[in-house]
Structure 1
């Protein structure tokens, strides 16, 4: 069937990238849209809702740098790691960006991404979480009622448990979890084959479970660095779908997050 509307539609380059992934169908899928100039916020949100991925990254060239915004299917967010990695991977690998470092101007300030072969390293501001008392009903919503747990607060609530097997078995009550005033809830544990593992739940922002949340590692990495007494850490995140992040605590109040990416879909949005 001929589509006359597509002939005259505005074409926006679109890519779907598995971030923090060393093979297809792993890590965290993100959409990347390259724009000549900003569309209105309603259209950006509608595109993200149409993608129905945890994050869509929108990129606009600004002289030698790039402006970057991130949208879940429900809201715009202040920081997203895996979609930043996905956007950088597209620019480095498909758009002849000749430098070894890309600078993104974002709500969270200037973020830098370096390319080294198949690895991409994000330079993000480090966040030190603070201990808090467990909000009433939180552990029950996670299916962890009666279990020993440490509770911390950053942009997300962090729940540290002791049993790695329990992490795999988590099946939260998302309706109950959505009632807590936080961007998301991350459950984390020291691990046998990694320094730590985690799972991230965010029904508050329209994402029940995010496979790999780079921004959460801006506070998970320093938290576990203090506990384990090391500045380089190997992390894994995810439930049925997983991805790996190498974390490096720097001495300047920032953290480096390194991972790979795989391009999965290439095409256009037609508006």
Structure 2
């Protein structure tokens, strides 16, 4: 129909070596200009994944935007990984061993496509003291917290053990009213350097399975404490995911694998 458009779409399990693991992201490929923001938001809401990436093919650096079911976000790790995996494994736009530059709301990002994995080169997001009372966040998480920090758009709540992070039970309604929309729970890992979980109900993401942007904060945070620049991390969601983190000056490099789960097309109305 004249008032509809058909677009290619893929769903990719990012930060995972197997299907049904890691964090699923949708990737929608565009030719030419962006779709109207309202239409991209509607597609993301319909997909109902943590993020849907929209990529404009045939341009360089590669223009990329990300939407949760509720809003656009300025930076997303797993959906960037998913986008490059589609361009590498399906479309043939990215060669093995090459580094692709991405134009985003957070500046130029870089992704290296290796034979088995991908390396994100993202800006570091350091922590600062928070003005939100620890007691308020303890009410949201229904447990005691050792330390509280913040970074850009999320709180960093430090716990005494991996088991405590696993047992966190977020009060969604209270979390949605916090000054910052995201909340990280983290601790030293039992068989890795650190573990985490991430919640962002204000963005329409109750719990994110594996969160690249959180590791742009957690890698430098734990790296300083351990005196290390190479760290192994695990996100303790039901799907789970593992990330190798490398600190280089004010950048964080995150390494993960991808598996393409679905490919097809969507037909949507052209919204103004």
Q: TM-score range by the shorter chain?
A: over 0.9
Tell which deviates more after alignment, 105-114 or 56-65.
56-65
- Corresponding residue to 2:147 among 150, 159, 166: 150
Q: What is the rounded CA distance, in whole Å, between the counterparts of 1:206 and 1:105 in structure 2?
A: 25
Compute the displacement of 1:163 (Å): 1.9
Q: Is the 8 A contact 2:244 2:254 kept in 1?
A: yes
Mark the CA change 1:53 to 1:117 in structure 2 (over 3 Å): closer, same or farther.
same
Compute the displacement of 1:98 (Å): 4.2
Structure 1: which 5+ residue stretches go unaligned? none
**1:247-268 deviation digits (Å, cap 9, x = unpaired):** 00002x1110000001001000
Q: Under a length normalisation based on structure 2, what TM-score does the superposition of the two structures give?
A: 0.93
Q: What is the rounded CA distance, in whole Å, between the counterparts of 1:133 and 1:102 in structure 2?
A: 38
The reply on whether 1:138 has 2:137 as its aligned counterpart is yes
Alignment of 1:214-253 (within 5 A): 214-251=212-249, 253=250
Q: Is the 8 A contact 2:150 2:156 kept in 1?
A: yes
The reply on whether 1:260 has 2:257 as its aligned counterpart is yes
Q: What is the rounded CA distance, in whole Å, between the counterparts of 1:64 and 1:44 in structure 2?
A: 21
Per the alignment, in what secondary structure is the counterpart of residue 175 of structure 1? Answer: helix
> Which residue pairs with 2:55 in the alignment?
59
Compute the displacement of 1:46 (Å): 0.4
Compute the displacement of 1:64 (Å): 3.2
Q: Is the 8 A contact 2:13 2:24 kept in 1?
A: yes
Q: Is the 8 A contact 2:12 2:262 kept in 1?
A: yes
Q: What is the rounded CA distance, in whole Å, between the counterparts of 2:69 and 2:59 in structure 1?
A: 29
**1:154-176 deviation digits (Å, cap 9, x = unpaired):** 02100000021111112111101
Per the alignment, in what secondary structure is the counterpart of residue 95 of structure 1? Answer: coil
The reply on whether 1:31 has 2:26 as its aligned counterpart is yes
Structure 2: which 5+ residue stretches go unaligned? none
Q: Under a length normalisation based on structure 1, what TM-score does the superposition of the two structures give?
A: 0.93
Compute the displacement of 1:245 (Å): 0.6
**1:67-120 deviation digits (Å, cap 9, x = unpaired):** 000000000001000000000110011111244111110000011100111110
Q: Is the 8 A contact 2:75 2:105 kept in 1?
A: yes
- Corresponding residue to 1:125 among 101, 123, 132: 123
The reply on whether 1:16 has 2:11 as its aligned counterpart is yes
* Structure 1 vs Structure 2 CA RMSD: 1.5
**1:149-203 deviation digits (Å, cap 9, x = unpaired):** 1111102100000021111112111101111011300000001111000000001
The count of residues paired between Structure 1 and Structure 2 equals 263
